[in-house]
C-alpha cells in the first residue's frame, strides 16, 4: 500500500477548506478535523511501519496453522508457489542454515525420510536453508564408486545429482528425486526416469547428456565428490538428516533413530527457523 498517496488523497481537502473560508466556524471545524485526520494517519503509518515482522512467521507454525501445514505437506513440492500478491518478509543479513540429507537412491529408508521429513520441511523453509542432497557409497581405488544396491543404484544417484546440476532449484530436483524414489525398485528404468523428468520439468535429454558426458566420467566425478563428502562428515547410514552440520535424525531399517528432537516436521521447521535467526 502506498502510504504517500493515501496521505495526499486524505489531506487534500485543504483546497476545499479554502473555498469555505468565509464561514469561520466551519473552517475551524474543518481544521480541527484536519488535525485529527492527520494524527490518525500518522498513527496508522507508524503502526504499519512498526508492525513486528516475526508475527507473520510465528503464525506460520503456531498450533492454529497446523491444519494448513498438514495440507501444505501433502502438496507436491513442485506445486508450491508463493500465493499471488503475498509478499514474503524480506530478511536481510540472514545466513542460510546448512540442511543436508545423505541417501542412497534405492534405499527404502531414504524414500520414507524424503517423503516424511525432508520434503515437507523444505516446502516451508526452502528459502532459509542451504540444502544439499549427498550420497552414500564407497569410493574405489580405480576412481569409481561402489553402491550398496549395485551399479543401478549408482546410476540412480548420478541421475539425481545431474538433475540437481541442471536445476539448482530444490523444488525441481527434489521433486524429481522424490518421484523416482517412489518407485525406487525400478531405478534407473528409462520409462520411470523419463516420466518423472517430464512431470518435474527436468530436461530428459540434458539429463542423459549429463550422465554420459566424457564417457560417464563427468557424472562419476559428481558421485565421487558427493560420496567423499558423506565419508568426510562421518555419515554411514541412509538416510541421515543433518542440520547446521550436526546429525538431526536418522531413518534406519524403517525406524527413526538418533532423533533427540523427534522426527516431526514441525520441530525441524522450528529448529531451522531458530538457527536462521541467529547470525
Ligand atoms: C552450501 O553448502 C555446500 C556444502 O553442502 C557448500 O559447498 C556451499 O558453499 C554452500 N553455499 C552457500 C551459499 O552457503
Does residue 34 register a pLDDT over 80?
no
Distance CA 202, CA 160 (A): 11
CA of 19 from ligand 1 middle (Å) equals 66
Whole-number pLDDT of residue 8: 38
Atom of ligand 1 nearest to the CA of 134: 5
Does residue 14 register a pLDDT over 50?
no
- Choose which residue among 97, 101, 126, 132 to substitute to test ligand 1 binding: the one with the highest number of ligand atoms within 8 A of its C-beta: 132
Q: Which three cell numbers stand for residue 104?
A: 542412497
Whole-number pLDDT of residue 46: 44
> Which residues does residue 174 pair with via DSSP β-bridges, in sequence order?
none
What percent of the chain clears pLDDT 90, i.e. is strictly above it? Answer: 65
Q: Which three cell numbers stand for residue 49?
A: 511501519
**Average pLDDT for the chain:** 80
By C-alpha distance, which of 221, 219, 242, 216 is closest to 163?
Answer: 219
Distance CA 203, CA 10 (A): 54
Residues 6+ apart with CB under 8 A from 157: 104, 105, 135, 137, 147, 223, 226
**How would you classify the pairing of strands 129-135 and 97-103?**
parallel
Q: How confident is the model at residue 124 (pLDDT cuts 50, 70, 90)?
A: very high
Domain 97-277: CATH superfamily is Glutaredoxin (3.40.30.10)
167-219 pLDDT, tens per residue? 999 999 999 999 999 999 999 999 999 999 999 999 999 999 999 999 999 99
Residue ranges in 13-117 assigned as alpha helix (H)? 14-19, 24-50, 54-61, 66-74, 108-113
Cα within 13 Å of Cα(6), Cβ side: 11
Domain boundaries, the chain: 2-48, 97-277
Does residue 249 register a pLDDT over 90?
yes
Whole-number pLDDT of residue 64: 40
Where do we find the cell 464561514?
A: 23
Does residue 157 register a pLDDT over 80?
yes
Where do we find the cell 567423499?
A: 228
Whole-number pLDDT of residue 72: 54
Whole-number pLDDT of residue 95: 83
Does residue 70 register a pLDDT over 60?
no
Does residue 73 have its Cβ closer than 6 Å to ligand 1? no
Q: How confident is the model at residue 278 (pLDDT cuts 50, 70, 90)?
A: confident
Does residue 44 have its Cβ closer than 6 Å to ligand 1? no
CA of 130 from ligand 1 middle (Å) equals 6
Q: Which residue's alpha carbon is at the smallest distance from atom 8 of ligand 1?
A: 130
Yes or no: say if 109 and 254 are a contact pair by the CB < 8 Å rule. Answer: yes
CA of 176 from ligand 1 middle (Å) equals 21
By C-alpha distance, which of 108, 112, 107 is closest to 135?
Answer: 107
Q: Which residue's alpha carbon is at the smallest distance from atom 1 of ligand 1?
A: 130
- Choose which residue among 129, 130, 222, 246 to substitute to test ligand 1 binding: the one with the highest number of ligand atoms within 8 A of its C-beta: 130
130-146 pLDDT, tens per residue? 999 999 999 999 999 99
Does residue 130 have its Cβ closer than 6 Å to ligand 1? yes
First to last CA, the chain: 31
CA of 161 from ligand 1 middle (Å) equals 15
Q: Which residue's alpha carbon is at the smallest distance from atom 7 of ligand 1?
A: 132
Does residue 96 have its Cβ closer than 6 Å to ligand 1? yes
Whole-number pLDDT of residue 39: 46
Q: Which residue's alpha carbon is at the smallest distance from atom 2 of ligand 1?
A: 130
Amino acid at each position: 500500500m502506498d502510504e504517500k498517496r493515501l496521505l495526499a488523497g486524505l489531506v487534500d481537502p485543504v483546497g476545499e477548506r479554502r473555498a469555505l473560508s468565509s464561514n469561520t466556524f466551519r473552517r475551524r471545524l474543518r481544521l480541527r478535523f484536519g488535525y485529527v485526520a492527520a494524527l490518525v494517519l500518522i498513527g496508522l503509518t507508524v503502526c504499519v511501519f512498526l508492525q513486528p515482522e516475526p508475527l507473520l512467521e510465528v503464525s506460520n507454525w503456531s498450533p492454529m496453522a497446523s491444519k494448513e501445514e498438514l495440507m501444505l505437506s501433502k502438496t507436491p513440492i513442485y506445486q508450491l508457489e508463493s500465493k499471488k500478491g503475498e509478499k514474503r518478509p524480506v530478511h536481510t543479513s540472514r545466513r542460510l542454515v546448512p540442511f543436508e540429507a545423505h541417501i542412497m537412491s534405492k534405499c527404502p529408508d531414504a524414500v520414507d525420510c524424503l517423503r516424511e521429513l525432508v520434503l515437507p520441511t523444505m516446502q516451508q523453509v526452502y528459502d532459509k536453508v542451504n540444502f544439499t542432497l549427498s550420497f552414500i557409497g564407497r569410493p574405489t581405488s580405480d576412481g569409481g564408486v561402489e553402491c550398496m544396491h549395485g551399479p543401478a543404484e549408482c546410476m540412480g544417484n548420478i541421475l539425481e545429482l545431474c538433475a540437481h546440476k541442471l536445476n539448482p532449484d530444490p523444488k525441481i530436483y527434489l521433486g524429481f528425486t522424490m518421484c523416482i524414489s517412489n518407485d525406487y525398485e525400478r531405478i534407473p528404468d528409462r520409462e520411470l526416469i523419463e516420466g518423472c523428468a517430464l512431470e518435474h520439468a527436468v530436461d530428459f535429454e540434458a539429463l542423459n547428456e549429463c550422465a554420459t558426458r566424457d564417457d560417464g566420467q563427468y557424472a562419476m566425478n559428481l558421485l565421487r565428490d558427493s560420496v567423499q563428502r558423506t565419508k568426510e562428515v562421518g555419515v554411514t547410514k541412509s538416510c541421515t538428516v543433518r542440520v547446521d552440520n550436526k546429525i538431526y535424525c536418522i531413518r534406519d531399517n524403517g525406524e527413526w533413530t538418533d532423533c533427540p528432537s523427534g522426527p516431526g516436521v514441525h520441530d525441524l521447521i522450528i529448529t531451522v527457523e531458530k538457527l536462521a535467526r541467529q547470525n
